[in-house]
Amino acid sequence: MTKRSDNTQAIDAFIAKKTKFDAMLARLQALSADHFNWSPDEINWGHAGTMAHYAEMLKRITDSAFQEGEFAA
């Protein structure tokens, strides 16, 4: 296998994962726009805890991507 074909395979794998990533982001944006399918009348502390959990998981991703927080150089 040549170096070029290795790079082509890596690019293909990257694009495939990025496509899945973009689809997940789009789903999350749509769900967030709909307030995670919760109406204001039904939101309780459990929902607040769930949002805190989601936000913490997303923060780990953004910290890693932007080299912030625990990933800061």
Tokens of 70: 């625990």
**Domain region containing 11:** 3-71
Q: How far is CA 34 from CA 38, 45, 60, in A?
A: 8, 18, 23
pLDDT of residue 15: 98
Q: Hunting for tokens 């293909």 — which residue is that?
A: 12
Res. 13 pLDDT band, cuts 50 70 90 = very high
What's the Rg (C-alpha) of the chain? 18
pTM over 0.85: no
The domain total for the chain is: 1
Size of the chain in residues? 73
What sign results for the dihedral spanned by CA atoms 50, 20, 63, 60?
Answer: positive
For the stretch 15-53, pLDDT in tens is 999 999 999 999 999 999 999 999 999 999 999 999 999
